[in-house]
Amino acid sequence: MPGKVTIVMYHYVRDLKRSRYPRIKGLDSADFAGQLEYVLKHYQPVRMEDVLSAMAGGADLPERPVLLTFDDGYAEHFDVVFPLLDRYGIQGSFFPPASAVLDGKVLDVNKIHFVLASEPDAALLVSTMERRVQELSREYELPSVASLRERYSQPHRYDTAEVAYLKRVLQRGLPLDARTRVVDELFARFVSQDEAAFAAELYVSLEQLRCMVRHGMFVGSHSYDHLWLDSLPPDEQERQVVRSLEFLEQVGVDGDRWVMCYPYGGYDESLLEVLGRHGCAAGLTTEVALADLGRPLELARIDTNDLPKSADAPANEWTAAA
Ligand SMILES: [Zn+2]
């Protein structure tokens, strides 16, 4: 009988105070180590392969199973996360977008994070963005600033309304061409003019991923370009999946039992159909809940912020529910 698994989602894990971007929203390395101790005290870490077997009707999972997942292919996943997991004998599941590793480009999502980390004045960023939207509306068919504000300006779980508005407009509020231009301009002005050097520092390399796989870590698909897949037509969804599978082959991943992690948590019926045709074994969402193994392509996750960061902390409500 399929049960529940606690799947924890991580993004940046770095020594924030000593990093060049202390304002980046990430988990501090020391807190990560503390959270691993908490996890080891209260849960039993399982491997992705065990979860896939359990969903396919194989062996049962242990009590209070937990799976740790790391999105976006950051260099610190190799430098900070991998050595700690290896020391504790825990498997991590890593989901790097192929373009981040192969193409020397910084993903739009990361450009936006580093723009926000570099310029504390969110109002300045918003006004810069809105001015460019107005200027670009001479070249592109764009929504008005008033309609963007109305549609996208609400606070999010971890963001103020201003920051959430900027992120949403730049992630999906504008057509791809226009938003790429605005994001690139903000990145060049507030962060760096050398995108290739920035990407080389930010992301894990192909060789590092191969090393992690050789040492028992799991690597899955996070698509090729890290777009909202539910905003793409079916043929482009398929292209994103196929190209990411070619990338996973280069990494040395077993193509028979592969796992998809939806960028931004975005998926729809046609994507699920594409995944089914390509033999995808599981899909990870950003829905905040314990994962229900009866819904393999819609596995929910909790965020690292939902769990304590020290072994001494009392068990919280997520742990009690596990
Ligand atoms: Zn992502």
Cα 73 to middle of ligand 1, angstroms: 8
Instruction: Yes or no: say if 27 and 10 are a contact pair by the CB < 8 Å rule.
Output: yes
Question: Identity (one letter) of the amino acid at 176?
Answer: L
What's the CA-to-centroid distance between 222 and ligand 1, angstroms? 7
Specify the pLDDT at position 171.
87
Q: Which helix H or strand E contains 300, and what residues bound it? A: strand 299-303
pLDDT for 1 = 44
Among 7, 5, 71, 26, residue whose Cα is nearest residue 302: 7
Ligand 1 centroid from CA 163, angstroms: 18
Q: Which residue has the tokens 């991590």?
A: 92
**10-residue stretch averages of pLDDT, the chain, 322 residues long:** 87 92 92 97 97 91 97 97 96 97 93 94 96 95 95 86 93 92 97 95 98 98 95 96 98 94 97 97 97 96 97 96 94
Residue 300 phi/psi, 5-degree rounding, is -80, 160
Q: Are strands 4-10 and 291-292 parallel, antiparallel or unpaired?
A: antiparallel
| 66 φ, ψ (degrees, to nearest 5) | -135, 145
Q: How far is the CA of 221 from the centre of ligand 1 (A)?
A: 10
**Which pair of tokens denotes residue 196?**
């290739």
Distance from the CA of 120 to the center of ligand 1, in angstroms?
23
Whether the Cβ atoms of residue 202 and residue 106 lie closer than 8 Å to each other: yes
Cα angle value 17/22/24 (rounded, 5°): 135
